[in-house]
Amino acid sequence: ILLGELFRIPLGRYLDLNRSRLRTRSAWPDVISAVPELQPLCNLLSDTSWAERLPAVEGLWHVWDTLPQVESLLGTDHVAAWSSYAQVLDHWRDREPDGTLAHHRRLSEEEEYEADPLLSYHPRTESRVTITTLHQSKGLEFDVVFIADAVEGVFPDLRARDSLLGSRRLNPHLPSDTAGYTAFRLQEERRLAYTAMTRSTQRVVWTATASGFDEGRGIPSRFLPLVVGVASVGEAASHPGYRTTPVTPLEIEASLRRTMEDPSQHVVSRLTALDVLGANQGQLRDPDLYFGVRDRGSDRGVIDGRVSLTPSQADLYETCPRRYALERRLKVGDDESVHASFGSLIHDVLEQAEAEAKEAGMMRSTLDDAVTILDLRFDPGLFGGDPFAEAWRRRGVQALENLYSDWPGGGAALALEHPLEVDVEGTWRGRADRIEHRLGGMAIVDYKTSKMAMAVEKAKSSIQLGFYVLAGERDPALSEHGPVTAAELWYPLAKRKSSIIVREFDLDSLPDIKQRMAAVAKGIHSEAWPPQPGGHCSHCRVRSSCPAWPEGQEAFHR
């Protein structure tokens, strides 16, 4: 509160006051009593009977009348917030006539706390949408209820929400053990889901964010199979095999258009749909807002001059030039997934462990060294917090255990995270995770943290591995170690029997690799972005912007 809008104490002064409080073990009223502008606050804190004795809303206005600093809030949004809080306390007094401000503060720390327990009644004179919490929906009734963002970690939210002092353990009706309390929380969330669903008189729609599902984010809620009546989340998240009843005017129009244009429908049904569309078009949708389709614009202007190329860019460009332009150049859907964070973590751990071993004159680092570094570098916040973070940490330990139990390479590391560069119709750059000594030359290694290994034949002609060979042979810093005799992909999480899977590059395919790299470079620099539909489209994040698909062909405008 001292640093906030009321007092605006500078951070340095606040830290001095706090250090004085800790050094003298004094209470805050004693510390701030020597500061003239904080004297009213000191008086409030010295005698807190107003918080324990007065009704909550009166206690709040007592604070307003006591602190002269509140005048600085006049004319700002803070006054509206203060007034809103006062209204909440006034509503709450109807339910708790003897409730004090201290009582309400303790209540606000509990899991079932409702900041705005009552929704204002509005007569149904027109169609309207009510946006509310699941708790606030109790006792209300709607035609259609949308339960949004039903993903793990949001709904159900199984976080313990425990206070610093573990106050929940003082409630005898709550399980004290972690597993029991998690089960209790899950049961509470299920009751909340039931309450929300029973608010509807016609239809309930659950939504779950599909973006990032393949990357481990936005995992659909475990409640979805229970709602749909299927066995798995995958079945529940799939599109239904039947057409649902339209709810909105746009859905009605779409349903009528499908019927009208479907040759398999009876001619009477198609003519009826046409008649309804013609007679009610103005009611279904304002004709001034019809969506049109623009002509394809120019694809040029994405590249400004020549760009540095990478093997990963080449892989994506060969898969689909259009997706490459949208994702890599225009940064559409450009967000780092939890799998990418995990891969970076394992690469960093192995780099540090091997660098320390190399500096110490050791042939190779040990598993204990790598796990220690993993624990030091592991940030639970990047992996969704518990319990998801712990699962990702266990996956990291498993990858290291697999790798160190049957290390594929036999030579000492010559270089780690070594930058490489080669010119093939442009400048290509990349970094080799590991370059090690092998009989007769060098082997370049790239770590892969996925559980599925690349197909053998595809690895033999991998642009990434081919780039390593071409650039490694032309690197002056590596010339003294001989030619590049091997390029490999190591998969610590993909095992075959007792050993991890290794994929090797076929050196005879180098001429073809050069031609493919040249073709990719020319295509990018000439700004050729044709869409290339295929099986990869099913999990493409930019499909809604791709002209090869209906959803990407529409340009919405008046």
pLDDT in tens, the chain (558 residues): 777 777 777 877 888 888 888 888 888 888 888 788 888 888 888 888 888 888 888 888 888 888 888 877 776 767 777 777 787 787 777 667 778 888 887 776 664 555 444 445 455 556 678 888 887 777 778 889 999 888 888 888 876 655 544 555 556 666 767 777 788 888 888 888 988 898 888 889 988 875 544 444 567 888 888 888 888 877 776 766 666 677 777 778 888 888 888 888 899 999 998 888 888 765 666 655 555 555 566 777 788 777 888 998 889 899 899 888 888 888 776 656 788 888 899 999 999 999 998 888 888 889 999 999 998 888 887 787 777 888 889 999 999 998 888 888 778 888 899 999 999 898 899 999 999 888 888 999 999 988 888 888 989 999 999 999 998 888 888 888 888 889 999 999 887 777 888 899 999 999 999 999 999 999 988 888 888 888 888 778 887 778 777 666 654 333
Please list, in sequence order, all residues whose beta carbon lies within 8 angstroms of the beta carbon of residue 389, skipping any fewer than 6 positions away: 378, 380, 381, 382, 383
CA dihedral 226, 230, 231, 234 (to 10 degrees): -100
Q: CB burial class (10 A; 0-12, 13-18, 19+) of residue 327?
A: middle
For residues 554 and 290, the answer to whether their CB atoms sit within 8 Å is no
For residues 30 and 19, the answer to whether their CB atoms sit within 8 Å is no
Closest by Cα among 244, 234, 195, 199 to 213: 234
DSSP state at residue 327: I
Rounded CA-CA distance 462/397 in Å is: 28
Q: Which helix (H) or strand (E) holds 489?
A: strand 484-496
Rounded CA-CA distance 493/402 in Å is: 7
Rounded CA-CA distance 379/198 in Å is: 40
Closest by Cα among 434, 441, 438 to 417: 434
pTM over 0.75: no
Distances (CA, A) of 395 to 383, 433, 503: 12, 20, 21
Identity of residue 440: G
In angstroms, how far is the first alpha carbon of the chain from the final one? 49
Tokens encoding 477: 């810093």
Q: 272-280, long-range: CB within 8 Å, 24+ apart, which pairs? A: 277/253
Tokens 């990418």 locate to 340
How many Å separate Cα 398 from the centre of its chain? Answer: 24
